[in-house]
Structure 1
């Protein structure tokens, strides 16, 4: 009897273990497919990826490198000389990503390698989480696996890697938002309801009720701010709909308890995080990105046109050409990121619109006799379609996202990123449709296989053409920094010209924004202190502010105790005397101690006259 009870108690955990194995296998397939598609190998994994837009990529390498020096992302005195850099104030990373990269730093101090591995493993984590979202929809396993791969290998993912948006690219939290959506929609869609109902005691039922709520909301709250804001928007809408239905049907209000608890838990965890980030710790006095305006939400919102058109890197080149012609001719929202919709998801979005129109006209209340009729009445499909429509209203130009920006906060400005939520909802809808209508395997398997072939050609076929990682070993700059470390004493302060604010201050000349972080990122022994990187809006960030005259520069150099000046000549393509006038106050501008060996002799290092 005891043996039988033990086996029965172990059975659910054996099921969980089996699902974890399937999810892991799905993640590995996604990782390998991404690596092969992007041309990543052992060599390129250790090189700096410049991609199409190098600015943000350098910023993310900076975060990865800083984690190796300051594990908790506190004050980092290797940057922001003569004070420090404090990335804790800069919400350009999410806590979950920071914790993972802290784990990576236990094995290597190479910030470039840490971020590249993080990029690549993002394909694994998204597919892993995506598998659980699609299984939560209670579709057959082979359908869940294929759709999880379509989700993880979406053009959205490759494009964010190309833009250098490493933390935006790792959108595993969107899959968890899908599961939370099913939980708050009601017992019929809650994937944990059967597990809860089979509990033998009230205490066990309570434990099974709380565990998914706390686990999922905590994980989502630790993800990128865009994704937990999108989560709150989608979940609040579902609850609002449930409140109306409850009042209309005169159901008991206590049925709304757990949905409210779920959203409340998410808000609580997010609130605690934001409260901690709002502390000044004696240094910060202004909000990061406080200069964002509400009007930017329309500049960076999405369009339905690009949402349903193929991406420009699709393997169906003739279809991609149509999209490119549209992009070349449009003048609306031209600076917004592309939504990155797979063709399979775009088709599902069209089906959702048809589904909503049919439901508005469909008056039958009994269960229909046909599979298609039962799908039209399916609670999962209804919830996904409703959430999709609501998310679409925030995604689009001059939509609810603009109102949110004007009324609540302009910080979430790139509403086009809602596209990945819409993609997840659309794929979930299509997965339910196939599973519900094509019940016999002889119909379901060929259809899913056909969609998989379309996905492979569309999502992987043209990636190498559309996205070039441009890996570089930075040999010249690495040698320059290494020579500086050997020449200068430990803890020497190196003042970097131009005096450039951090973050998001924009390019100077032909020097990209964040480019001055590269000497620190590529440093061999971290023995030097670099002036770039103190956060704007903090006391530390004010030291070099408004130092525009040679006399002021000379005074600051003397006050700081700096021992060297590094000049990026790319910042002065039209007026090289601008840096010479400053350097001349403390060193001989015609006698650099080190000159980089690249063809342009881009970087110069001058030692400060000890007098």
Structure 2
């Protein structure tokens, strides 16, 4: 492959016999701005046609499904001066502390605050942010392409196609990830390190003459700005860039063999990492005030790195929403034959060609001993490592096992792979079309094919439906606010853990957020406190299966209204009729939501001894949080355990509480054994167990905070399917107390209640 330099180049169109006359300064500036301007305009046009923005109106969100409700509430919280999603509008009465799911998107949050100066609508602000991501990505990719020596027509192609990757038009529910314009900046850092180009100026340049010193300090400013932009973006993109820079350092070491040559790259990576770490450190501090009721509130698990990784075939198949039905059918049919991954990042035909080129470069280098051009070789190395992290069972799983499972969706590396592949295409276009006319003709053809392949106006948002739903929700919340005294906290049924927990019945994951997105500021909502903390888990002790007992508890906790989402219930389990008999006619309702006034009550419905606020908000909880909850054929909740398990008893109050725990346990192998419980006062409790359910009773005085009870046996694990081995089945965990407080067994209590199945 022809030698390609890491400096901007212009394809020469005049012969050597004809001298090129220098352009006037004004014309030179216009010429240099033409490429970026064209990239931005074309990418914006792609966004307009793929999203059908002529049908959009301010105040209408681009989506209300998936994570979109949560995104809209995050945007509202940021516009109102809160941090990343932290707000008093959710998680009543304690509020939502989103620091448990912190990310480093400070740059994106700042952009939302700026947009918020011109609108008070979260839907409008988030839509503007999302659409602005198209030209931002195009400009960043164009700049990177020019830096690696790609001619202007090809650079425009790279920029526009990168801004309109397959699926980008559907990424509103991942709003912060849609701002992937920082990735070209990170790839530039990695390429500078891998090829030995200047990341920082030489120290002597900083002490040179006036002009040289100015250029050197501008060089420093550029590198610092790029590193900070990456470090203050989404944590996923920070991780991806650090991986690429790590690969670049290995390449540099293999080329130079001196530690000194690695220092510039290490310094750049450190600046990226430290800026992200400082941002996340504030979140760690913000968590300190929460009382933790489980070992890992909102923690991700090792196995999720497998579930959210990608497959190589996903990159090669057409986008699942492709505009051509035959191509769309191929991906759909394959999805039926082999269950699709959680996030499928198709590359598109142009990027697939670029990836093939990079793979061939690697193969030729290994088999033929032909050393590729520095830039192309670095791109190929980056692509190979990115694929190794991207795929199931790859390096991403290694990171989850030995470093952290918090970076779990390795399939998102598909965006990085697409950028590397497009750069390879741009380098090829620069090589084969050296004359200006041919270069622009080739660019137009590749752009046309790529844009038609990567976008589909048929997959644009249904603005009429979104507008109607938004208007209905806004009217419902306004009616509810007008019918209650301010401020008013609304308790939402069914109780659903937050975040990343599937909704009950036919509810979406974050449907409980929808009423609050455009609600008046006088209303707050119970849903949204972080599971695994006292701010959320107090709800697990509520008698959600008995409305006559639930209503006094909600009054005592300070709620003024109770809301029911009909779609969260199945048949007779819907509590609306029971609430209506207790509380009278609804205050407000839609086809799926109904709200009742907790201030109204029948005299005969008042308990003789009403609960206090502390009774409701400071219960004792018990549970096995590490094991997946299931039901047996009798509808009883159970969890499969290893030969050992930890039972956590969390007292959210200030004084010790006597608690009785009961459950049934059996060995899955059918053998007789002994269950030993330690962590209780006195000697360990020993209970005989066998292949049939054996009742176990534990007495514990729970002090404030968490108490760990270790359960151990010598039972042999057996295969329970899916390659998983367990030894014990613990069924129907219950808790009771004579101390006059609410007590519940975490999760199992809820599964046993006649609340809807998932």
Q: 1:116 corresponds to which residue? A: 127
In the alignment, structure 1 residue 38 sits paired with structure 2 residue 51: yes
Matches within 5 A, 1:83-482: 83-91=94-102, 94-161=105-172, 164-188=173-197, 200-201=208-209, 204=214, 207-247=217-257, 252-279=258-285, 280-283=287-290, 285=292, 290-331=298-339, 334-363=340-369, 377-441=372-436, 443-460=438-455, 462-465=456-459, 471-474=466-469, 475-482=471-478
Q: 2:554 corresponds to which residue? A: 557
Q: CA deviation at 1:187?
A: 3.8
User: What is the distance in 2 between the residues matched to 1:20 and 1:266?
Assistant: 29
User: What is the distance in 2 between the residues matched to 1:158 and 1:595?
Assistant: 33
User: What is the distance in 1 between the residues matched to 2:462 and 2:291?
Assistant: 38
Query: TM-score w.r.t. structure 2 length?
Result: 0.69
Q: CA deviation at 1:513?
A: 2.1
When residues 44 and 381 of structure 1 are mapped into structure 2, their CA distance, relative to the original with a 3 A threshold, is same
User: What is the distance in 2 between the residues matched to 1:142 and 1:199?
Assistant: 38
* Aligned residues of 2:320 and 2:328 also touching (Cα < 8 A): yes
* Aligned residues of 1:50 and 1:472 also touching (Cα < 8 A): no
Deviations 1:153-196 (A, max 9, x none): 110412423xx2222222111111121122212344x58879x9
User: What is the distance in 2 between the residues matched to 1:45 and 1:30?
Assistant: 21
User: What is the distance in 2 between the residues matched to 1:306 and 1:544?
Assistant: 41
* Aligned residues of 1:93 and 1:167 also touching (Cα < 8 A): no
Count of aligned pairs: 571
Farther off after superposition, 220-229 or 445-454: 445-454
When residues 577 and 258 of structure 1 are mapped into structure 2, their CA distance, relative to the original with a 3 A threshold, is closer
Deviations 1:215-273 (A, max 9, x none): 111111111111111111111011012112222xxxx5322221121112112112212
Higher relative contact order (CA 8 A, sep 6+): 1
Q: 2:480 corresponds to which residue? A: 484
Match for residue 545 of structure 1 among 531, 540, 546? 540
* Aligned residues of 2:228 and 2:275 also touching (Cα < 8 A): yes
When residues 126 and 288 of structure 1 are mapped into structure 2, their CA distance, relative to the original with a 3 A threshold, is farther
* Aligned residues of 1:380 and 1:432 also touching (Cα < 8 A): no
Q: 1:532 corresponds to which residue? A: 527
Farther off after superposition, 465-474 or 389-398: 465-474
Pick the structure with more helix per residue.
1
* Aligned residues of 1:49 and 1:472 also touching (Cα < 8 A): no
When residues 564 and 263 of structure 1 are mapped into structure 2, their CA distance, relative to the original with a 3 A threshold, is same
Q: 2:594 corresponds to which residue? A: 603
When residues 198 and 17 of structure 1 are mapped into structure 2, their CA distance, relative to the original with a 3 A threshold, is farther
**Whose radius of gyration is greater, 1 or 2?**
2
- 2:195 counterpart SS class: coil
Gaps of 5+ in 1: 1-10, 365-375
Q: CA deviation at 1:424?
A: 0.3
* Aligned residues of 1:580 and 1:589 also touching (Cα < 8 A): no
Q: 2:39 corresponds to which residue? A: 26
Q: CA deviation at 1:507?
A: 1.0
User: What is the distance in 1 between the residues matched to 2:458 and 2:577?
Assistant: 43
Q: CA deviation at 1:391?
A: 0.7
Q: CA deviation at 1:382?
A: 1.0
User: What is the distance in 1 between the residues matched to 2:147 and 2:513?
Assistant: 43
Cα RMSD after superposing both structures: 3.1
User: What is the distance in 2 between the residues matched to 1:93 and 1:473?
Assistant: 34
When residues 422 and 95 of structure 1 are mapped into structure 2, their CA distance, relative to the original with a 3 A threshold, is same
Q: CA deviation at 1:426?
A: 0.8
* Aligned residues of 1:182 and 1:191 also touching (Cα < 8 A): no
Gaps of 5+ in 2: 1-23, 607-758
Q: CA deviation at 1:537?
A: 3.4
User: What is the distance in 1 between the residues matched to 2:148 and 2:49?
Assistant: 30
Match for residue 588 of structure 2 among 586, 594, 606? 594
Deviations 1:429-450 (A, max 9, x none): 1212221343333543333232
User: What is the distance in 2 between the residues matched to 1:199 and 1:455?
Assistant: 48
Q: CA deviation at 1:41?
A: 2.9
